[in-house]
Structure 1
Amino acid sequence: MPTENRVTMTKTPEQPQSGPLEASSEVDLRLEDMSHLSAEEARLLRRHFEIFTETTNKLVTAHQHLQLQVRALLEELEQKNRELESVNSELAHRIRETEQVREFLDRVIDSMHTGLVAIDVDGYVTRINEAARVLLGWEDQSPSQFEELVANQSQRILPAVSDWDQAPRSGETRLRKRHGDTLLVRYTAVPIAPSGGEQTVQRGTLFVFEDLSRLRLLEEKVRRASRLTALGELAAGVAHEMRNPLATMRGFLQLLPSEYEDPGFREECSTRLIREIDRLARLTESLLELARPVRPDDYETDLKALVEEVLNEQQEALQVEDIRLEIHLMQIPPLPLDRDRIKQVLLNLIINARQAMAPGGKLEVTLEPRPEAWGAEDQLTLLAVLSVRDNGKGIESHHLDQIFDPFFTTRDEGTGLGLALCYRIIEEHGGVIRVESTPGKGSAFTLYFPIRCEE
């Protein structure tokens, strides 16, 4: 019976298996009986088994390394998932906070009593609050473009797109309501600055406005009350001013029957009566001028030319009184002024200055454009500033608060209505008149008119 040749392959038990190819043991080739094979065949067979063993061991090692990498990747994936969950949780928290802030700001904006409209750089309305909707009649929908709200298309309201860093633009204008009516408002247009570090153009404009209709009604009520008060004071002043000449006239008329034959009495009577009648005529004329309405918007007056005209008319009187005239006049754009009424103011101020100076005095008249704080909000505005200054006797400090009151005068022959009339005329032109005076050194009356700058 022939001898049995067997070839077996075993593993050395260095480590237990954890899988089909997870054993770290090397494969060991054992040839129990290869006597029937030739030496060459045995060598080749042994060589093949060595290659197989080496390859198998490499596969086992590679598999183990791969498993370690997979395990590391799984751990890294779990860590990333935990980090992502944390980031998502933080992001969700911030989104909730942002939504809460946005909701709060929306409630604040819609709770405002003033209107607010947000406009992008192309003029489209991106936000309009509740007050603006109610004031302009857009309760159920929003206007598309801001120009739908502007009544005067020629008036520049919004800042230029390139002027993101300029000061807010403020003023008064009329807005068009949805159904055609207009609303007088006071507004402020604020450019929205670029975000981040951009230094290019603005991102849009915030247009905030308030209804002036109620304010105008309240102002009218105040004006009516002031007019009634002024009317009472005026009536009292008129009664006082008329009482004196009437008393004089009555006295002469009472003496007329008994003293008529006296030539001296007749001469004095005629002279005094004419004087008192003239005084009443001047008083009546001043009262009529005080009551005559001003329509400044119907005029475009060259103020420099008007001042030169008045000074030319006064030149001869100034020379006779030996008063030196100094003139500094700059050109001013045409203003909406009633030429005749402003001329009346200038004449009154110059005549007052002449009467306050002795021979050898100096009268200085200046006109210049000057930016100054103006209005209730002290907004910087270009003004026409006209000043009439003398070096006469001046005005006592305790009289400065009274000089524009009707019937206040420090001269026996005056009616006390000249400066009151000047004050009213300037006020109705939208201007201001101010006085500065130092006793013994002179007085300066200054007129201020806003200049309408072309956009």
Structure 2
Amino acid sequence: MGQQSVSNSRELKDAFSLFNQASDQLADSYRTLEDRVTQLTGELAIERSRRYVRDSDNEQVIRRFEGLLDALPAAVIVLDGDGYVQQCNRAATELIGEPLLSVLWRDVVARAFQSTACGDDVPLVDGRIVNIATRPAFDAPGQIILLTDVTEARAMQALLSRHQRLSAMGEMVASIAHQIRTPLASGLLYAFHLKRDDLDQGRRSRYAEQIVSRLKHLEHLVDDMLVFARGGNFSADQINLTILLDELKQMMAPQLEDRACELEIINVNDVKIGGHHEALSAVLQNLVLNAIQACDKRDVFVEEQVRGHVIVECRNVTDETIDIFITDNGHGISVGMQERIFEPFFTTKPQGTGLGLAVVQAVVHAHDGAIWIESSSDKLHGGTTFAIRLPLFKAVAGK
């Protein structure tokens, strides 16, 4: 009995010892777990703090970007992939008016812009002129549209251009006086002869014709001066290029009747250009007439008469422009003359006003176009090409 009691006491003691060991292990595990929880809590707090900083930075960047966007003087409009206005700045709202956000851009164009336009400068319904530039969105479908109000800038450019033309005309007063005095003096001389009583009818008719010729020359000179002074004040109409060239062929037919020269027109482009119909028609007629007259002088350089050939060819069509080339097989133009060919009152023709090509250049530039010359004065392989680049007609919605 005593041995059994001792045995139970030892087992109880071992059980308490095991319990104490388990308790110590549990306490150690709890402390380890507690330390780990503390560590994770600290890490979580740090990550939350970092995320808060990142969110704050992102929000600050967004606010800064929106503030910068609103501070821009130009109107900025962002379209999504479906063509709806996704974002715009204050300048866009002030320029075009509301509603803008979530509105189809095509509807905005129909509401705010005039129905037709030519070039990158387009008019609003209130008369202001804006320049449109587009860029693709950086990382998503859509488009970024930049609208700049250039009304005052274009008005200043027109005023500066007008002042420059007036200044140029002021410098040309002496040349103008000479240009007018010569035909005027001739006309007065012939008119004085008409007063003679002994003048027969044949000579009287010839003198009258000479007076009319001098007066027409003066009229042509004045007309050219007016067009040159008018400069960029041309409307932007829709002109069918094929019709314009057909009219050109009809208008030049009388000039070709008594000359050994043929006119060939090459155009496979069914396009419309933007500009003033009469002014551009006059430009083409002037260049083609010059080409025909250049062909008349071909026999000066070669022993045999070579039939003149003038080609009007349209090519190099892009989304914005088309090039028109007027080429002759005439005597060509020297390099020295090419440098002065567009100067007002510079001419090589005895009866020329010297304003024809100056007017041509002024009209082309007024249409936001360009003109250049390619010529060879080689006696056997001469010829001249005048090239003009004109803008195509574009509707605002097409931009």
Report the TM-score, using the length of structure 1 for normalisation. Answer: 0.66
CA shift, 1:388, in A, is: 0.7
1:219 aligns with 2:157: yes
Does the C-alpha gap of structure 1 residues 337 and 89 become closer, same or farther in structure 2, counting only changes over 3 Å? closer
Q: Unpaired segments of 5 or more residues in structure 1?
A: 1-33, 36-41, 157-169, 195-200, 372-380
CA deviations over 1:374-432 (Å, ceiling 9, x no partner): xxxxxxx4322211111222223333344334443211022334334433444454433
Q: What are the residue-to-residue correspondences of 1:72-87 with 2, within 5 Å? A: 72-87=32-47
- The answer as to whether partners of 1:237 and 1:406 remain within 8 angstroms in 2 is no
1:271 aligns with 2:206: yes
Q: What are the residue-to-residue correspondences of 1:198-213 with 2, within 5 Å? A: 201-202=140-141, 205-213=143-151
Secondary structure, aligned partner of 2:348: coil
Does the C-alpha gap of structure 1 residues 215 and 94 become closer, same or farther in structure 2, counting only changes over 3 Å? same
Matches of 1:110 and 1:155, distance apart in 2? 22
Structure 2 residue aligned with 1:8? none
Secondary structure, aligned partner of 1:330: coil
Q: Find 1:333's aligned residue among 247, 271, 274.
A: 271
Percent of pairs identical after alignment? Answer: 24
Structure 1 residue aligned with 2:386? 445
For structure 1, which segment, 338-347 or 411-420, has the greater mean C-alpha deviation from structure 2 after superposition? Answer: 338-347
Q: Find 2:313's aligned residue among 344, 360, 366.
A: 366
Matches of 2:272 and 2:191, distance apart in 1? 54
Matches of 1:283 and 1:234, distance apart in 2? 16
Matches of 1:209 and 1:70, distance apart in 2? 68
Structure 2 residue aligned with 1:189? 134
Does the C-alpha gap of structure 1 residues 442 and 145 become closer, same or farther in structure 2, counting only changes over 3 Å? same
CA deviations over 1:280-333 (Å, ceiling 9, x no partner): 2233145346647886545542x2344245346656865864446555321222
Does the C-alpha gap of structure 1 residues 390 and 422 become closer, same or farther in structure 2, counting only changes over 3 Å? same
CA shift, 1:70, in A, is: 0.9
Matches of 1:219 and 1:323, distance apart in 2? 42
Structure 2 residue aligned with 1:31? none
Matches of 2:353 and 2:185, distance apart in 1? 17
What letter matches 2:387 in structure 1?
T
What letter matches 1:271 in structure 2?
R
CA shift, 1:67, in A, is: 1.4
Matches of 2:155 and 2:343, distance apart in 1? 26
CA deviations over 1:42-99 (Å, ceiling 9, x no partner): 75x6776666555444433322221121121122223223333443444444455445
1:67 aligns with 2:12: no
Aligned residues: 374
Structure 2 residue aligned with 1:128? 89
Matches of 1:174 and 1:254, distance apart in 2? 57
Q: What are the residue-to-residue correspondences of 1:11-90 with 2, within 5 Å? A: 34=1, 52-53=12-13, 55-90=15-50
- The answer as to whether partners of 1:119 and 1:146 remain within 8 angstroms in 2 is no
Secondary structure, aligned partner of 1:408: coil
Higher relative contact order (CA 8 A, sep 6+): 2
Q: What are the residue-to-residue correspondences of 1:13-412 with 2, within 5 Å? A: 34=1, 52-53=12-13, 55-95=15-55, 97-98=57-58, 101-102=61-62, 104-120=64-80, 123-129=84-90, 131-132=91-92, 135=95, 144-145=101-102, 150-153=108-111, 171-174=120-123, 181=126, 183-194=128-139, 201-202=140-141, 205-232=143-170, 236-251=174-189, 261=198, 271-272=206-207, 274-285=209-220, 287-288=222-223, 291=226, 297-301=236-240, 303-308=241-246, 310-311=248-249, 314=252, 321-323=259-261, 327-336=265-274, 338-357=276-295, 358=298, 359-360=305-306, 361-371=308-318, 381-412=319-350
CA deviations over 1:207-238 (Å, ceiling 9, x no partner): 33321121122123213313433554676554
CA deviations over 1:143-192 (Å, ceiling 9, x no partner): 54455993535989xxxxxxxxxxxxx9334557xxxx464221333333
Matches of 2:312 and 2:259, distance apart in 1? 17
Q: Unpaired segments of 5 or more residues in structure 2?
A: 299-304
Report the TM-score, using the length of structure 2 for normalisation. Answer: 0.74
What letter matches 1:150 in structure 2?
V
Q: Find 2:357's aligned residue among 413, 419, 444.
A: 419
- The answer as to whether partners of 1:332 and 1:368 remain within 8 angstroms in 2 is no
For structure 1, which segment, 333-342 or 388-397, has the greater mean C-alpha deviation from structure 2 after superposition? Answer: 333-342
CA shift, 1:339, in A, is: 4.7
Matches of 2:356 and 2:127, distance apart in 1? 39
Matches of 1:309 and 1:144, distance apart in 2? 48
Matches of 1:405 and 1:107, distance apart in 2? 51
